[in-house]
Amino acid sequence: MGKPKILIIGAGYGGMMTTVRLTKELEADDADITLVNKHNYHYQTTWLHEAAAGTIHHDRTRMLIKNVINTNRVNFVQDSVRSIDKENKKVVLKNSEIDYDYLVIGLGFESNTFGIKGLDENAFAIRSVNTARKIREHIEYKFASYNNDPDAKDSDLTIVVGGAGLSGVEFLGELVNRIPKLCKEYDVDPSKVRIIDVEGTPLVLPPFERDLAEYAQKYLEGKGVEFRLSTFIKEAMPGGVKVQKQGSDQLEEIEAGTVVWTGGVKASHIPADSGFETNRGKIQVTDDLRAPDDDHVFAVGDVAIVFPAEGERPYPPSAQIAVQQAETVAKNLKHLIKEEPTEKFVYEPKGTVASLGEKEAIGVVFDKKLTGKTAAALKKVIDDRYLLMLGGIGLLLKKGKLNLL
């Protein structure tokens, strides 16, 4: 009998960290490891809002997979996953098929438009390096053409952001830093620019404690952001959006040159379409992170759902939980290969930080509330720690944010 084949699909936080940890947990003779991803790079999803606003270059967010993984130990296949054939233990790709003995699903998220009319066609979403790049280029184009295009309108300088969750608020924080520079560069009167956030709930940053969320809201309002809370986007059009205030029958039209939707994501459709038992489109993993209906399959990151206890809300998907899941999955694959009992996944939340631009943030870390420059510095420390775990000191010095040199 040959070496067991471990196949990891998706090179997000969960997939990449599983791959890197496996090469540390296993000897070369223990298993054949294959990683499949549609791009030849891995990217920091938590930096995409910066690339979208243009405060960092999109290339800063990504790193070539071959520069991070041990290519002597891992076979990397660049291809798109089409489906998983559970019965025959193989994954169907766009260009081939790969057999496995053990599968790790780390396929990430898709934008969730909740069926809102016109959103797919007329709004941007911060989903990937390429979509972030398109948003940056589009906003810059609107500013560049404002004084040069005879048909330009003031509303071309209005940016509507759908959603005031973590990604929406972090994007707003980058925008309020970027807009003054664009105004200066293209000689645009800053008073002509409007940034409007439309959020269906009455709260900004629902997962955060109210005093921290209010700090973030007041900071952004002080920089000119208009919040429309308890208000829903009902339709996106080429020139703006139609919104409806909760409890009102009236639709209001907001003219805008740019609409960016951050209002929700959903797990990749592939596990559900491939016949896995799912809850809200995600695999409700067992306590050792395996699929409940297939003990040769693990799920990590956005495609996995983990409940702290029965009756409680699931842990929100984040880079932090995906990285911790990956460490447990790597250990459990080693245990299975060595015919040892698997370990239970225990999530240890270290806290959450929301950036509000380069020098502002809010957060709770080890139950301590932080705001301002301290929280902003800590966000950089968290991001840099991931780079260190993933690719060692070389990757940290190349991509890190604290400029240690």
Q: Which residues contact 379 (CB under 8 A, 6 or more apart)?
A: 353, 355, 361, 363
Q: Is there a catalytic annotation at residue 339?
A: no
Q: Is 153 helix (H, G, I), strand (E, B) or coil?
A: coil
Round to whole Å and give the CA distance between 34 and 100: 9
Assigned token pair, 161: 């952001």
Q: Which residues contact 289 (CB under 8 A, 6 or more apart)?
A: 298, 299, 300, 304, 325, 328, 329, 332, 345
Q: Which residues contact 291 (CB under 8 A, 6 or more apart)?
A: 276, 277, 283, 285, 297, 298, 299
Catalytic position from the list 25, 97, 140, 170: 170
Q: Is 21 helix (H, G, I), strand (E, B) or coil?
A: helix
The H-assigned helical ranges of 233-312 are: 270-273
Round to whole Å and give the CA distance between 398 and 114: 39
Round to whole Å and give the CA distance between 4 and 33: 9
Name the DSSP letter for residue 203: -
The answer to whether the CB of 401 falls within 8 A of the CB of 384 is: yes
The answer to whether the CB of 199 falls within 8 A of the CB of 227 is: yes
Pairing of strands 368-371, 74-78: unpaired
Q: Is 35 helix (H, G, I), strand (E, B) or coil?
A: strand
Q: Is 332 helix (H, G, I), strand (E, B) or coil?
A: helix
Round to whole Å and give the CA distance between 69 and 385: 17
Round to whole Å and give the CA distance between 232 and 198: 7
Please list the active-site residues: 170
